Amino acid sequence: MAEQIISTEFADVMQKSFVDYAMSVITSRAVPDVRDGLKPVQRRVLYAMHELGLNFDKPHRKSARIVGDTMGKYHPHGDSSIYEALVVMEQDFKKGMALVDGHGNFGSIEGDSPAAMRYTEARLKKFTQEVYLKDLDKNVINFLSNFDETEQEPEVLPVRVPNILVNGADGIAVGMVTSIPPHNLGEVILAVEAFIEKEEISTKELMEYIKGPDFPTGGIVINQSELEEIYRTGSGKIKVRGKLEFEPAKKKNERDKLVITEIPYTLIGSNLGKLLADIAGLVEAKKTTDIVDILNQSSKEGIRIVLELRKNADIEKLSNLLYKKTKLEDTFGVNMLTIINGKPEKLGIRDIIRHYLDFQIDLVSRKYQYLLKKELEKKEIKEGLMRAYDCLDLIIEIIRGSRSIKEVKKCLISGETSKIQFKKQTSQKAAAKLNFTEAQATAILELRLQKLVGLEIQALEKEYKEILKNIAQYTDILENHSSMLRVIQKDLEAIRKEFSLERRTEILNAQAAVYEEAPIAEQEIVFTMDRFGYAKTMDLSTYERNTETIEHENKYVFRCMNTDRICIFTDTGNMHQIKMLDIPFGKLRDKGRPIDNLGNYSSAGEAIVGIFTFSYIRERKLFFATTKGMVKLVDASEFDVNRKTVMATKLEEFDKVVCVCPVLENETEVLLSSHGGYMLRFSLEEVSEKKKSAIGVRGMKLAEKDYIEQAFLLENEQEMFTYRNNKVAVSRVKEMKRDEKGTKLRL
């Protein structure tokens, strides 16, 4: 076949490819289906375990075997994502109802990683078998070909509860995110039953059953009044608090304790360590003096973080401080995004239940169509056998007089007697009237002699009556919508009675935590930072007694107020801010703390070109110069921001900042010196004032491979400046215009 080249716009190809990729990520990776509430990887793991026969009453099997089967048959996207999905479905602190029964180290609530999959073992939970995988053999769902068309996998699992509400979901796709909190199984089932009874039920009425999210970590939801709007629209913010319990001292040598027994759901994992660090930070910063010691006594039994208190500690004030200043009160963002008919859509709980119920009706319809078909087949067989008992002697005579099974079948089905020898003419006439179906004829020929006794015949009649009863029941279910809904309700009620758990999360309307910080007493202090980057502040009197020593041992020393902040300008064009109160206050010989640990500044990738207090530069212009000779002035008010790090200046590729200088009143000239020994002196008035987001204007023409090494601001009538550790007269550098090559200076 000849090659055909199709010309098209590159933008069109990119757009189509990106949309295809985005939809693939959304529908096949990150967002769960509204019907079974599972992402594809979760569905495939559970089905692979079902196919391996890992039932709740069977021994555990290695997780590596489960991951291998899932990846080889259904999910060719790498073993790490499959094992992660398996682990999460086992972790009862993440799921409302855990779906996998794990054996071994599957991680912890504190963020410990699970053991490798070659060490852990798993099997299905009884809940998963009964509620998620039951009736797979009854043609209740569609099966699709897998990625290489060698296996069949379910399109969805026949989950019998609204799993998307029970276990929640989270996932980040392309341009969208899903975040659904877990809920109490019993409450969700009651809400579904209420929806069945009254289809036009409102969200507010549904919330009489679903009180709110039920996080496996417990905690307290404190904005109950906002939940109705969140559940109606499918998005919003749920405020969750941890639970605090006061334990008074029981012995003389013991201390009172404030114990964190439950945490917000958002703190699962590494955030729990951050909570402990934040509490310790409050103590270090002297925000509270009530906490004497912090002990993490959490175990498999649950969370227990003990705060030992000083005598007569103010419990209410301390509780409010913890809620206000740490993640002990946090926000869970809700965005109920699900896949409906292959497309992402945001739903409220009422719509989620409606889609779930439509799915259940489809499952029940297909199940009872399958069962009805089976019962009709049984009925046909039983009717044939019962007829056969009435003419058993004739059938035996037909069998004895024939030469093959084929001849017997033909006679039983159509009365063909030409090739069969009969003892009596009357038998041949009777045989010619036979008209069994093919299924009945096969059953008659497979009938064992022991089935011909009287009791067996009575059992057959009893089975036939039971079959007729089942057929009537199944037909009623399929033909009457109310009967079908009763079946769904009956199944849900059985699941609720066997598997539902007590609610763990408390729902209430609580007042916002109120904590008023004591006003900071303003005082003058001294900031110091040595050449190794260790910073501290100290008392002014200490500095005045040891001025010479302090200035000799430190690279940066300046007086400031304790309410001020320092601005660190770096060669990468960034400005980092650190509050003076965040810098440790120390004595003369205290080492201080690395400046890297106090803010966002990192000495690994950035070099400091200037450190100033904001109060010093507030009313001034800042002069910037870069290695490529770009210069500009920026009003310091642009750096009056709350963020810890902002862009101080825009840089060209491979350019770096060499100078950031506050412009003083008597500074009137700029002096630029290059690595190649050229110097250019020009008026400061020629430097344009720009925004911090601008590159600036060219200050000096540079030869190829040359670059600016130093930049100075010269005072009016200044006579000398320091260049490469040499004192140089200003008069040796001829005054020129900006954007010239400058003068070659020989020392």
Active site residues: 119
Give residue for tokens 């200044």: 718
3-state secondary structure 286-300: CCCCCEEEEEECCEC
Q: Residues for the chain: how many in total? A: 747
DSSP run (H or E) holding 276:
helix 270-284
Coil, strand or helix at 727: strand
Tokens of 491: 């199944």
Could you tell me if 608 and 600 are in contact, meaning their C-beta atoms sit under 8 angstroms apart? no
Phi and psi dihedrals of 288, rounded to 5? Answer: -145, 145
Report which of 541, 547, 533, 583 is spatially closest to residue 563, judged by C-alpha positions: 583
Instruction: Give CA angle at 274 (270, 276), nearest 5°.
Output: 120
Using CA atoms, how far apart are residues 159 and 27, in angstroms rounded to an integer? 19
Tokens of 18: 């990106």
Tokens of 116: 């490798």
Report which of 728, 588, 583, 711 is spatially closest to residue 657, judged by C-alpha positions: 711
- Collect all residues with Cβ–Cβ distance below 8 Å to 508 and sequence separation of at least 6: 220, 221, 222, 224
Sheet holding 61-62, edge to edge: 61-62, 121-124, 100-103
Phi and psi dihedrals of 374, rounded to 5? Answer: -65, -40
3-state secondary structure 108-171: CCCCCCCCCCCCCEEEECHHHHHHCCCCHHHCCCCEEECCCCCCEEECCCCCCCCHHHHCCEEE
Could you tell me if 670 and 740 are in contact, meaning their C-beta atoms sit under 8 angstroms apart? no
- Secondary structure E strands in 194-255: 220-221, 235-241, 243-247
Report which of 216, 215, 328 is spatially closest to residue 272, judged by C-alpha positions: 328
Q: How many CB atoms lie within 10 A of CB 647?
A: 12
Using CA atoms, how far apart are residues 256 and 565, in angstroms rounded to an integer? 38
Could you tell me if 714 and 729 are in contact, meaning their C-beta atoms sit under 8 angstroms apart? no
In terms of Cβ atoms closer than 10 Å to its own Cβ (0-12, 13-18, 19+), residue 653 is exposed
Burial 498-531 (b: 16+ CB within 10 A, else e): ebbeeeebbbeeeeebebeeeeeeeeebbbbbbe
104: left (phi over 0), alpha (psi -120 to 50) or beta: left
Give residue for tokens 């692979």: 48
